[in-house]
Structure 1
Amino acid sequence: MRGDAEQHPINDNELVILSQHVLDSLQLNLQDVLKVVQSAFTGLRQGSDNPQKTIVQPPEQQSISYSMVGRDSISQTVGFKVVYEFDPYRKFNNYNFLSFIFLCDDQTGRPIALMDVVKLGPLRTAASSALFARAACPEAKRALVVGTGAQGQMALPLLVAAMPQLQTLQIYGHYEAGIQAAQHNLKQYFPDRNIEVVQSLEQAAGQADIIIGVAGASAREQVRHQWMKPGSVAILVGYGIDADVFQQADCLITTDIEQMKVTCHDLLAADGVMPPVHAELPDILTGQKQARNHEQDIVFAYNSGMVVTDIALGRYLADQAVLQSDLGQRVQLW
């Protein structure tokens, strides 16, 4: 561990196990989360490594599995992430999601932690969306989240942390418990802010400066390009934004071009040709490129998960777990 975490030294043959319950109990500063994720992206231009993921999916599509390895040069941390998702398209009414990440300190060679990613994933994804939004639409006043699952429940707190000038926060979805969780999460960090639940997706999308699509594969309705106003940005994480926005946007930006090529096939037009990419997020954050060409451009941002952000944020969470009452279970695995 780094810094003050050394007050709870970990032996060479010990591994800290951080469960979902432990991670949920952490007191986090969202500004720190944003800084850690931003540093992970800029680190991709400073020696970090983020190879493409390895994906396995049977023809029947009853599951999807993938693994990723990467290295964050800023925190000197190596990570191995594994994901198994059963019934991803909700065909069998038996959905299950299992995942973990294993972190090692690349300065000392010691293991850091093995942790659940149920909290980690939505945090780093929401932070990435917030960085996209702030870069593409810095003067935004209205934000709309499409989807009320785990990603939708954390999208607005990180967005407000990055863009406190936002005045109207809206959410569209049909999962009542998810809507309540989104309200709770926002209140936890911003007690004076409220989320408006919208009934007309078309009307809300037509007024929004920022639209974040985080719905699941079974999304009933999606934002269309013709609904969006000039100067707005649509950020796609899962579903909830139609492929015609990807195809017709004035500017297409992404976290990583090569990774997008692997995962964006459902967004391509009939000819299979991918629109030209204007910029990648690391170059936008380092000031090498702009998020848009013109003020009135409609921007589509493709937010694909980058394991280097999981690693950097996982390192931060692991450090916080040790600092906050030395949480986690230590096991002698080797």
Structure 2
Amino acid sequence: MTAHGTNGASDPRASDDRSLRVLATGDLADLDISPADVIDVVEQAYRTLADGRSDNPRKLTVRAGDGHSVAYAMLARDGARDVVGVKTSYKHGLGEDRDRQHYYTTLTLYDDVTGLPVAMMDCGRIGALRTPAASALLARELAAPEARTALVIGTGTQGRLALPFLLTALPRLDRLMLYGTRPDGVRAVREQLRTYFPGRDAEVVEDLTGLDAAASDADLVVATAGPHTPAAVAADRLRPGALTVLVGHGLAPSTLHRADRVVATSAAQMRVTGTDMADAGGRLRAADAEFPEVLAGRAAGRTGAGQRIFAYNSGLVVTDIALGHRLAQLALAQGLGTRVPLWR
């Protein structure tokens, strides 16, 4: 791994080292990186893609015929860091409860200047950081100027950092609400919020009736719940000017189809992974703009304060590559990981 790129660090590896450094979950768990730093890395990846200096082809998908598993393969090149990466994701037991599912995701990085491997990494923490960073950027760019109230639906991996990242990007938020069905998840979200923002807390929404009321009050709704959630906030519950960000589940298809404007991190990925938001006739509404182009100022995001905007956050592997490279820099500088002479 070389020191080029905006976040370059001194290279802890020998210049001719062709071995692969494997960074496990534990190697990455305690690396110190702030929400603001993560947001900066993800934003740079989006902007570089919009400028045509990065490549991010559509993901490949393989599903079992009976629906019990799904696998994805994603390849991209980050032009800001001159790094090529391949991400794979496999989930087994889609019809099971979360604690009975098997889920593995890895990222392998190569330095496109030296031609050497950088690392193979568990991608769990990368996704747990990248996704709320993307939601926070969507909120910063697309929320109404007077937005003050946020509602997060879901308390799993993607929900637990949603509020700290939203507050980092939108410090004007003064009312935070949270809906989840697992008490341990609710506790974890509130603990994470207090860790990053001592003194702040979220109002807990107790049931679906309360969720409808909370959605009606919210300027910003971020839905991160799993597929078994009972939550399905409908368009008629949203106030004028509301922004909805779909990460997982928790929104009804009407929030997409009745939105005044639709923005996707990737329109192609939305067509692949957003089919559960199709209307009764099986139609999936197309995106009006892609978010990297909005960030670059080449496409319109919000064009009116009263618009209800739907944002689809499917993630782009080029953002995983940028953030994974940054975490690999931090880990390798500390001598973490296991050296594997794979190509000997």
| TM-score range for the pair, normalised by the shorter chain length | over 0.9
How far apart are 1:193 and its partner, in Å?
1.8
Contact residue 90 and residue 218 of structure 1 kept, 8 A: no
Find the residue that maps to 1:186 and give its secondary structure.
helix
**How far apart in 1 are the matches of 2:336 and 2:131?**
24
Find the residue that maps to 1:119 and give its secondary structure.
helix
Which deviates further from its counterpart, 265-274 or 131-140? 265-274
Contact residue 178 and residue 205 of structure 2 kept, 8 A: yes
Instruction: Please say if 1:39 is aligned against 2:49.
Output: no
Instruction: Please say if 1:19 is aligned against 2:29.
Output: no
Q: 2:181 aligns with which of 174, 179, 188?
A: 174
Q: Which runs of 5+ in 2 are unaligned?
A: none
| 1:143-173 superposed Cα distances (whole Å, 9 cap, x missing partner) | 1110111000111111111111111121101
Contact residue 86 and residue 94 of structure 1 kept, 8 A: no
Instruction: Please say if 1:330 is aligned against 2:336.
Output: no
TM-score by length of 2: 0.92
1:191-210 paired onto structure 2 within 5 Å: 191-199=198-206, 200-210=210-220
How far apart are 1:13 and its partner, in Å?
2.0
Report the AA paired with residue 167 of structure 1: D
Instruction: Please say if 1:314 is aligned against 2:324.
Output: yes
- In structure 2, do the counterparts of structure 1 residues 166 and 204 end up closer, same or farther at CA, with 3 Å as the change threshold? same
Identity of aligned residues (%): 39
- In structure 2, do the counterparts of structure 1 residues 241 and 189 end up closer, same or farther at CA, with 3 Å as the change threshold? same
Q: 1:244 aligns with which of 230, 245, 254?
A: 254
Find the residue that maps to 1:16 and give its secondary structure.
strand
* Map of 2:35 onto structure 1: 30
* Map of 1:136 onto structure 2: 142
TM-score by length of 1: 0.95
Find the residue that maps to 1:74 and give its secondary structure.
coil
Contact residue 234 and residue 300 of structure 1 kept, 8 A: yes
* Map of 1:119 onto structure 2: 125
Contact residue 267 and residue 286 of structure 2 kept, 8 A: no
1:9-158 paired onto structure 2 within 5 Å: 9=14, 11-45=16-50, 46-90=52-96, 94-137=100-143, 138-158=145-165
Find the residue that maps to 1:143 and give its secondary structure.
strand
Q: 2:294 aligns with which of 271, 276, 284?
A: 284
Report the AA paired with residue 170 of structure 1: M
Contact residue 252 and residue 301 of structure 1 kept, 8 A: yes
Find the residue that maps to 1:17 and give its secondary structure.
strand
Which deviates further from its counterpart, 198-207 or 257-266? 257-266
Q: Which runs of 5+ in 1 are unaligned?
A: none
**How far apart in 1 are the matches of 2:10 and 2:223?**
37
Report the AA paired with residue 174 of structure 2: Q
